Structure 1
């Protein structure tokens, strides 16, 4: 089971305030622990929405609409994420509870969401095989 820990943005992260050295070290230790346990898939911070682009689909079959950031509501945006692969929801919660305050300010908030697996999306054997093959291509290590 894969879960994404979504780190919510704050006014500071949206203003481009970088994490302190202490927080970077704490997050590095946490990510190393995830990696040693073999559950870390990916972990990254995101630039503020000043450089972001939103693409919306205002009508079915219509042309997508592009809007440049910044966007206004920091609590609705994402400052970073960690993707883990674990055996259960409970294990995902345990790992999420161990993450340091992602902003180091007492304002940190993490949303934990399970990632859909291919068999949950379709029962069509051909479509399922294609989804599984695409996932395998994405997760293959370079040179493997």
Structure 2
């Protein structure tokens, strides 16, 4: 997904001047772009590729800033999240940034990507060593 996100950012940068620089603050721009898509169409299928790219970008921000890593989801998690990949936090929790972007498109400002990052459980704090992950059953937001 890292390569997919980088390709999406490069393509988007050619067409616009959005400073997608993988900072937490740039997630506010993701919210802004998704809101623009919502105003232009209510048809998710018409913007699916852009939503996927923005979700990959949002996930890559979490990977770079919070110590997460991309993981392939198992069959149960795929069914739960509706996506083939997610991000695993240092504490073992699995999150779905691709789905979060879709939720922003479908439900609006209540599903902020910036707020999603700021409220993420399991982030690695700067200067702290990574803790080994915990294992447990899948829940809506977490799995091992």
TM exceeds 0.5? no
Higher helix share: 2
Higher strand share: 1
Relative contact order: is structure 1 or structure 2 higher (C-alpha 8 Å, sep ≥ 6)?
Answer: 1
Greater gyration radius: 1
